[in-house]
Amino acid sequence: MKIAVTYDNGNVFQHFGRTEFFKVYNVEDNKVVSSEVIGSNGTGHGALAGLLADQDVDVLICGGIGGGAQAALAEAGVELIAGAQGDTDQAVEAYLKGELVSTGANCDHHHEEGHDCGHHEDGHSCGGHGEGHTCGEGCGSSCGANPALTGRNVGKTCRTHYRGTFNDGTQFDSSYDRGEPLEFVCGAGQMIRGFDAAVADMEVGQVVDVHLMPEEAYGMPDPNAVFSVEITQLPGSEELKEGQQVYLTNQYGQPFPVKVTAKDEKMITFDANHEMAGKELNFRIELVEVK
């Protein structure tokens, strides 16, 4: 049996339709015998459900999920266990013990009442391209799963300096400017796919230049990630302005970044796509240390 869990740095990712990674567990005699993290590389419910079916996944464990995704999974023959939170390994163990109960469809593109507009910010930077960033929705159902990364550094803690630029040469981020290398576990899903892949087989002291297409970075914009809410149902939204970047919270209290794209007297529209979605990125990466 195979069990897949929406994955974000060791925890159950809370938005099935926006998950960038799945952790897939191979189970024999009700015990986990192996596991690997794969890229979702898909846009929309059908593509993700198809990916799981192609991987021969029998069970999906996730957090929030809508009715459309639930129907797509049922059509693909994948059992759904929704409403899980916390550590992915513990969630799988709870399922195998019969202690994990599904809540069913519990999300509808963030339209539910009870969402609060919290932690307003004037903007949010790209930072380290790691934990806390939504790396896009992938390239569509035709791509299939990302193969597992291989290389001398996979599974090891790496420290890298890097400089990121757009194709016109404009710099959008640099660890050199902050004076501190970026630390992450290579291949653990903490980084965008192309950055991880570049570091996977580097030697300490080596410097490489990589050009990443959107599919290797933050994916292409997902039209399903644009949604409108009545201002009266979102406390604090009456103060927001078009173009402002803020954080909303879902029904689990998990924050996610959005940008205000439109607003009138009654409705406000948000775009939850990553600000880097659809962009080609260039990185100069220097591997400083491997632990």
Summarize pLDDT for 22-38 with one digit per residue, the tens.
999 999 999 999 999 99
Q: Which pLDDT value is given to residue 97?
A: 87
Q: Which residues are catalytic?
A: 162, 172-173, 192, 218, 227
What was the pLDDT predicted at 131?
32
pLDDT the model gives residue 114: 37
Beta bridge partners of 118: 247
What pTM did the predictor assign? Answer: 0.49
CB 40 within 8 A of CB 31: no
pLDDT in tens, 40-58: 875 555 688 888 998 999 9
pLDDT of 115 reads 45
Distance CA 209, CA 286 (A): 9
Task: Answer whether 80's CB lies under 8 Å from 106's CB.
Answer: no
Q: What pLDDT shows up at residue 255?
A: 61
User: Residue 116: what pLDDT?
Assistant: 46
Calpha distance 225→17 (Å, rounded): 9
pLDDT of 251 reads 56
What lies within 8 Å, CB to CB, of 105 at 6+ separation is: 65, 66, 67, 69, 70, 82
- CB atoms < 10 A from the CB of 58, how many? 15
Amino acid at the residue 245:
Q
The pLDDT value recorded for residue 42 is 58
Query: Cα angle vertex 90, ends 32, 31, to 5°?
Result: 15
| The pLDDT of residue 260 | 92
**CA 102-107-110 angle, 5° bins:** 155
Q: What CA–CA distance (Å, rounded) separates 109 from 33?
A: 35
Tokens of 113: 């009442």
Residue ranges of the chain whose pLDDT lies below 70: 42-46, 67, 101-147, 249-255
